[in-house]
Amino acid sequence: MLEHVVNGLVLGGTYALVAMGLTIQYGIARIMNLSFGDTIIAACFGTYVLFSTLQINPILALAVVVPLGYAASLLIYRVIMKPLVDRAPSDGALEVDSILVTFGLLFAIQGVLLIFFGGGYTSYSFLNTPVNVLGTAVAGNRLLALGLSLVIAAVLVLVLYRSRWGMMLRAVALAPQSAPLFGIDTDRAARTAFAIGGALAATGGVVVSMFQTFTATGGVVFTMKALIVVILGGKGSVPGAIVAGLLLGLVETFVAAYVDPGLTLAAVYTVFLVLLLVRPNGLFGKA
Partner 1 sequence: MTMKPSIAFPVAAAVLAVLAAAPLFIPDYWTGVLLGMTGYVTLATAWALFSGPTRYVSLATVAFFGVGAYVVAVLNEALPYPLVLLSAAGIGMILALAVGLSTLRLAGVYFVIFTFGLAELVRQTVSWWEVNITYTMGRYVFLPFEGRHIYWQLLALAAVTLLISWAIGRSRLGLALKAIGDDEVVAAHAGIDVTRVKLLLFVISATLITLVGAIQAPRWTYIEPSIVFNPTVSFMTLIMALLGGPMRLWGPALGAIPLFLLFEWLSVSFPDHFSIILGLLFILIVFVMPQGVLAKIDDIRKGGRA
Binding site for partner 1 (CB under 8 A): 32, 34, 80, 83-84, 92, 95-97, 99-101, 103-112, 114-115, 220-221, 223-224, 227-228, 231, 260, 262-263, 265-266, 269, 272-273, 276-277, 280
CB of 84 to partner 1, least distance (A): 8
Q: Judged by CB, which is closer to partner 1: 14, or 110?
A: 110
Give me the count of residues in the chain: 287
User: How far is CA 161 from each of CA 99, 158, 213, 226, 241, rounded to the nearest angstrom?
Assistant: 29, 5, 35, 22, 15
Q: Residue 223 region, left (φ>0) first, then alpha (ψ -120 to 50), else beta?
A: alpha
CB of 259 to partner 1, least distance (A): 10
Q: Judged by CB, which is closer to partner 1: 84, or 131?
A: 84
What is the C-alpha to C-alpha distance for residues 171 and 178, in angstroms, rounded to an integer?
A: 9
CB of 71 to partner 1, least distance (A): 20
Q: Judged by CB, which is closer to partner 1: 4, or 235?
A: 235
Asked whether 30 and 95 are in contact (CB, 8 A), the reply is yes
Q: Which residues pair with 131 in a beta bridge?
A: 138
Q: Judged by CB, which is closer to partner 1: 5, or 88?
A: 88
CB of 285 to partner 1, least distance (A): 12
Asked whether 39 and 45 are in contact (CB, 8 A), the reply is no
CB of 166 to partner 1, least distance (A): 25
What is the C-alpha to C-alpha distance for residues 205 and 113, in angstroms, rounded to an integer?
A: 14
